[in-house]
Amino acid sequence: MGRMLVLLCDSPYHHESVDHVIELTRAAIGKGHTVDIYLMMDGVYNPLVTQSGEPFHMESISDQFKALLKLGTKVSGCRVCMELRGVDADSLPAGTDIGGIFDLSEMLAEADVVLSFTGAA
Domain range list for the chain: 3-117
The CATH code of the domain at 3-117 is 3.40.1260.10
What is the model's pLDDT at position 118? 84
Distance in angstroms (rounded) separating the CA atoms of residues 115 and 95 = 22
Which candidate, 77, 74, 13, places its Cα nearest to that of 39?
Answer: 77
Average of per-residue pLDDT values in the chain = 91
Q: Which pLDDT band holds residue 1 (cuts at 50, 70, 90)? A: confident
pTM here is: 0.91
Q: Output DSSP code: residue 56.
A: G
Who wins on pLDDT, 55 or 28?
28
pLDDT above 90 as % of the chain: 78
pLDDT, tens digit (0-9, with 9 covering 90-100), for 66-105: 999 999 999 999 999 999 999 999 999 999 999 998 999 9
